[in-house]
Amino acid sequence: MATKEDIRSSRRLHRRSLTPEQIAAAGTSIAWHGTEWAASRTSAAGTFAVYVGVAFEPPTLPLIQALHDAGHRILLPVCEPGRQLSWVYWTPSTVFVRSSYAPIDEPEGERLESSVVADAAGIFMPATAVDREGNRIGQGGGYYDRLLQGLDASGRRPPTIAVVYDDDLLPSGSIPAEPFDRPVREVLTPSGLIRLDGPE
């Protein structure tokens, strides 16, 4: 079995082969299907934790805008020391600044502890690959595994969905699972929403 780093490198290389037109089209489709998923999580306007896709990641700004237009509130992450995340409510006027801990831009605003995510209707999570058992490979920082560990310990973990390109969904058993990993139940791709085979 390939290691996580092997898979991560392979998927990143593949993503670099995508054209700007393919990336833009993926962002539009992800926004459409992601808004559909959000509507299935709550019968009214809710709060969703999202993230800003950067570089060759699936674009999520169209999703963020679409969720906002549908009346939902958006929480975006901020990297903190110790591989922890804080959260800021996003609006169209939110200003972004360069992170001190990761090569990404992050929202300015009042930083809230990760416990605020426990009351969200759902979490859109970054991933470089997911297999059909729900095993997920992130960017390697471990931020989201720590987030989910804390939410699981509190007994208040919202539904999670990983955002990937179509080819990033791998067969069952492709990704080695480690004790600290937290599987996801669903995947959001440009082609649509996919329910995974892993246990509840």
pLDDT per residue as tens digits for the range 135-156: 999 877 788 888 888 888 888 8
pLDDT at 150: 86
Banded pLDDT at 125 (limits 50, 70, 90): very high
- Inter-axis angle of helices 61-69 and 20-41, to 10 degrees? 40
**Structural domains in the chain, sorted by start:** 4-106+117-195 (3.40.50.10420)
Cα separation, 199 vs 196, in Å, equals: 9
> Worst-scoring range by mean pLDDT, 31-40, 94-103, 125-134?
94-103
Q: What is the pTM of this model?
A: 0.92
CA-CA-CA-CA torsion sign (30, 35, 39, 45): positive
Asked if residue 182 lies in contact with residue 17, where contact means CB atoms within 8 angstroms, the answer is no
pLDDT per residue as tens digits for the range 163-194: 999 999 999 889 888 777 778 889 999 999 99
Which residues, listed in sequence order, are joined to residue 123 by a DSSP beta bridge?
Answer: 49, 160
pLDDT per residue as tens digits for the range 47-91: 999 999 888 899 999 999 999 999 999 999 999 988 889 999 999
Q: Is 2 helix (H, G, I), strand (E, B) or coil?
A: coil
Cα separation, 88 vs 65, in Å, equals: 15
State the average pLDDT for the chain: 90
Cα separation, 150 vs 117, in Å, equals: 10
pLDDT at 66: 97
Q: CA dist 120 to 90, 151, 190, Å?
A: 14, 11, 23
